[in-house]
Amino acid sequence: MREINASIPFDKALWRQDIAASKAHVAMLGEAGIVTTEDAALIASGLDQVAAEYEANGVPENWDLEDIHMTTESRLAELIGAAAGRLHTARSRNDQVATDFRLWVRDQIDETEAALHALQAALVTRAGEHAASIMPGFTHLQTAQPVTLGHHLMAYYEMAQRDRSRFADARTRMNQCPLGAAALAGTGFPIDRHATAAALGFDGPTANSLDSVSDRDFALDFLMAAAQCSLHLSRLAEEFVIWASQPFGFVTLPDSLSTGSSIMPQKKNPDAAELVRGHSGRIVGCLTALMITMKGLPLAYSKDMQDDKPPVFEAASLLALSIAAMTGMVAEATFRTERMRGAAELGYATATDLADWLVRQAGIPFREAHHITGSAVKLAESRGVALDQLALADLKAIDARVDERVFAALSVEASVAARASHGGTAPVEVLKRVAEARVALGLPKDIEA
C-alpha cells in the first residue's frame, strides 16, 4: 500500500505551486480572522524557509508522507511547531492538488507559448531569406507545382499560430481557482475564495465544489493542444528527414542536431528530427492515457486521479524538447536552394502553367487544355527535357493555338510569380505574409529578402 499510494516521486514537481497556493490560503485565513495574524505570519515565513530548502536541496522523498502536500506540511511543523497545523484549516488535499496542478499547467502553457513564439520567429526569419528560393511543391510526395521555400516554411508558421491559439484557449478556460472547495462540498469557515483566486492570478473561483475537485479538463485541454502541436512538429521533422536524404539533398542539417554512424564515417543522421517525430507518438499516448483514466469516474475525487500528473509531466517535457529541437533546426539548417530549384525543373512542375496559359490566352476550356498539356509533358519526358526546352514547332504540332508567348509562362520563376493571389507562393506575397507575421510576433518589420 505504501508503494502504490505514494505520489511524492512525481508530484514533488508541484512544490513551487504548492508553496504559492499555501501562502495565498494562509494570507486569506489571516485576513478573515480564521487564524491569528501572528500565526499567519509565522506560517508564511515558515513556508518561505521550506521553499528555500527545496530550491537548494530538492524535495525529499519520504514515501510515508505520500505526497508534496504532506511533505511540505511536515517540514513546516518541524520548523515552526504546532502553528503549522492551522494551515490546513478550510481546505483539503483534494482542492489543494487541483489548485497546484492548475497552476503548474498554467505555467507550462506560458512556457510553451514562449517556445512556439521562438519557433515562429525562426520560421519567418528563414522564410524572409528564401521568399524567392524555388523548390518543388508536392502532393502525394510527387512534384506538383513550383513553390518557394519561404512559402513552404510559412505554412508551418500558420500551424504554430493555431497551436498557440489552442494553448491560449486552454489557459482561458482553466483560469478558475478550485481552492476553498475543500474535500468536495465547500467549507463552513467564512473564507474569501475571491481573495485567494486573485492572489494566485486566477480570474475568479470555480462555481461548483464537486466539479472543482474532480475536474481535470484543464489537463486534458493541455494534452490535446500538446498532441496537435506535436503532430505539426512531427510533420516538420519529417520534411527535414526527407530533405536531408541524399536523393533529395535539399538541406544540410546543423552538426549540433545530427549524429554520426558507429561504423559508417560518411553518415550524418537526422536523429533529432527523428526523435521529434517519435515523441509525437508518446505525447498522443499521454493524452489517451489520461482520457481513459477519467472516462468513468463518478463524482467527486477518486484516487485514480493521482495518475493524472505523470502523463502531463511527460508530455510537457517531450513537447518542450521537440519545439527546441525544431527551432534550432530551422534556424541553423543550410538550405541547398540550387538543388531545390533543379528538382522543381525536373518534375514538369510548370505543366499547370501551360494549361492555365491555354485557358487565358487561347480561350480553351480547362479540360481540353489539361489534355493538351498532358501530351506536351509526354513529349518532353520522351526527350528528357523540361517543358520550356521544347521547340515551338513541337508545341504547335500538339495544338496550333500555342504561340511563342507560352515560353514566358513555362519557367519556374514565372510559375511562382504568377501565383500572387492572397496566400499564394509568389515572392511578393510571401514577403507580405512575412512582414505581417513579424509585426504579429513583435519583431522588427524591415528585413532583407
Contacts of 190 (CB under 8 A, 6+ apart): 32, 34
Determine the straight-line distance between the first and last CA of the chain, rounded to whole angstroms. Answer: 64
Backbone angles phi, psi at 252, to 5 degrees: -110, 120
Residue 347's Cα: distance from chain center in Å?
33
Which of 140, 262, 382, 422 is catalytic? The answer is: 140
- The C-alpha atoms of residue 343 and residue 384 are separated, in whole angstroms, by 14
- The C-alpha atoms of residue 228 and residue 316 are separated, in whole angstroms, by 13
- The C-alpha atoms of residue 340 and residue 17 are separated, in whole angstroms, by 50
Across the chain, which distance is largest between two alpha carbons, in Å?
A: 100
Number of H helices, E strands in the chain: 19, 6
Contact 240, 307 (CB under 8 A): no
- The C-alpha atoms of residue 105 and residue 93 are separated, in whole angstroms, by 18
- The C-alpha atoms of residue 291 and residue 219 are separated, in whole angstroms, by 10
Which of 45, 165, 245, 261 is catalytic? The answer is: 261
Can 140 be counted among the known catalytic residues? yes
Reduce the DSSP state of residue 335 to 3 states and report it.
Answer: strand
Which cell numbers in the block locate residue 203?
480570474
Exposed / middle / buried, residue 38 (Cβ in 10 Å: 0-12, 13-18, 19+):
exposed
> Taken in order 320, 321, 323, 327, is the CA torsion positive or negative?
positive
Catalytic machinery residues: 140, 261
